[in-house]
Amino acid sequence: LAKTTQPISMDSYEGQEVNITCSHNNIATNDYITWYQQFPSQGPRFIIQGYKTKVTNEVASLFIPADRKSSTLSLPRVSLSDTAVYYCLVLKANYGGSQGNLIFGKGTKLSVKP
Amino acid sequence: DGGITQSPKYLFRKEGQNVTLSCEQNLNHDAMYWYRQDPGQGLRLIYYSQIVNDFQKGDIAEGYSVSREKKESFPLTVTSAQKNPTAFYLCASQRTSGNTIYFGEGSWLTVV
């Protein structure tokens, strides 16, 4: 499974747009890029997933360039409640099996200030 | 309400005791996982199971055991052989045809 690299921490202010980049140089053809959000003492929560180009939902946008070796999670107009750890993960398209040994890094700790 | 339920949320264990953390899901997912998270760290895989009566070791399986007798349930036992069990434990599941992992709310285990 592809290893991911992302910044350890980021700071922002309320109302700003935040972009968190993740590199995944060894991504395979059938891999999907997935982002999770985790608050202290809670389980990670699925935010968004994409394969290529751009995906947008009510929470975030995900930008994936043509070579798919990196991706950028974009959080529009962050608020204090967006302070959390964000994990980038590469997941296999699943056709009947588990993801096996999924590798989670330390994620990116986003701190939003007033 | 569909989801993954972990219990208890907080558990205290005396040294030398075995404890079991419960994980139940009503999502009809085939695959289930157990992760450990230490403060300020990422998630590390303990065990995972693709189907009933089958499970595989993850990176840090030593000192832990699991069972998968029912599709809905994947309990984790932290044995006395686990030398540093104080941590946050997360259970997750995944449907067979899906490529997304869903997590429970986690359980805190503290050795006293």
Q: Provide the shortest C-alpha distance from residue B96 to chain A (in Å).
A: 5
Residue A92 scores a pLDDT above 90: no
What backbone torsions phi and psi does residue B81 show, to the nearest 5 degrees?
-75, -15
Task: Give the span between the Cα atoms of A60 and A68, in whole angstroms.
Answer: 18
**Beta carbons within 8 Å of A16's beta carbon, 6+ residues apart:** A77, A78
Mean pLDDT for A83-96 is 81
Residue B32 scores a pLDDT above 60: yes
Q: Sheet harboring A70-75: ordered strands across? A: A18-23, A70-75, A61-64, A53-56
Cβ separation of A98 and B31 shorter than 8 Å? yes
pLDDT digits (tens, 9 = 90+) for B65-74: 999 999 999 9
pLDDT the model gives residue A97? 52
Take residue B33 and report the two structure tokens written for it. Answer: 């996982």
pLDDT digits (tens, 9 = 90+) for B44-61: 999 999 889 999 999 899
Contact B62, B55 (CB under 8 A): no
Residue from the list B41, B50, B100 with its beta carbon closest to the beta carbon of A98? B50
